[in-house]
Chain A
C-alpha cells in the first residue's frame, strides 16, 4: 500500500525532472523561464513535504520570486524582441552519455548509505533561525561578505564608460 507521502513525492519528482528538461529544451527563452518557475515552486513543495518549511518559504521567495524575475529582466534588456526564438543547438551523444553516467553513478552510491534504524528528525523553524545566528553564524557572515563583494563586482561590470 503506497502512502500519501510517497504518492505526493513521486508526483513532485516527476514534475521536477520534466519541467527541468522542458526548461532546457524550450526554443523560446521566455518559455524557459516559465518552466523554471514551475520547477522552483515544485521543489518548494518537496521541502514542505520534508518538514522543512523554512527552506520551502526561502525557495519560494528567493528562487520562484527573485531569481525568476532577475532572469526575465536579463532577457528583457538583451533582446530586441522578447519572444524571439533561439537557434537550435544540437543534442550531441557525448553530453547525454555524460549526464546518464552521472545519474547512474549517483544512484549506484545509494548502496553505500547506512540503512536500517535511522528515524528522520524534524526541526522547528525557530530552532533553525537560532542556529543561523548562533553556532552557524560564521556561515551567515561569510554569505554577507560574499554578497557584498559580488554586488561590488556586478556594479563594476555593468557601469557605463568602463573603458
Chain B
C-alpha cells in the first residue's frame, strides 16, 4: 500500500458516506434504508482500516483494526434487528414503507 494517498481514501469514504446519507434521506422502503445505512457504515470501517496503518505505535494500529472488526459485527447485528423490525412492520401494516410507520407501537 506504499503509493496510496490519503486524499484518495478520504475522498472514497466521504463519497460513500454522502451516498449513504442521500439514501437515508430519500428512500422510503425499509430494506433500501438498511442498505443505505450499510453503505455509510462501510465508509466508516474503511477509514478505521486505512488510518490504522498510520498509528504511531503497533498497538495503536492493531487497536484500529480491532475496532474495525468489532464494527463489522455491529453492522451484522444491526441488519438482524432491522430485518426483525421489517417483519414486524410487514405483519402489522402489510407494507414496509417507513412513511406508514407512524406509531412506535407495532
A-B contact count (CB 8 A): 235
- How many residues in B have their beta carbons less than 8 Å from beta carbons of A? 73
| Contact count band on A | 35 or more
Please judge, given known A-B contacts A62-B76, A103-B18, A135-B59, whether A118 and B69 are in contact too, CB under 8 Å: no
**Interface SS, B side:** helix
Q: Decide: A17 near B14, CB < 8 A? Known: A29-B32, A89-B27, A146-B77.
A: no
Chain B positions within 8 Å of A77 at CB level:
87, 90
Pairs A–B under 8 Å by Cβ, sample size 17:
A5-B1, A13-B15, A29-B32, A32-B35, A36-B39, A51-B1, A58-B69, A71-B83, A91-B26, A99-B18, A110-B7, A121-B53, A128-B62, A131-B66, A143-B74, A153-B84, A158-B84
Known A39-B42, A46-B12, A113-B10; further 6 A-B contacts with Cβ < 8 A: A3-B3, A46-B46, A50-B50, A86-B29, A98-B22, A102-B18
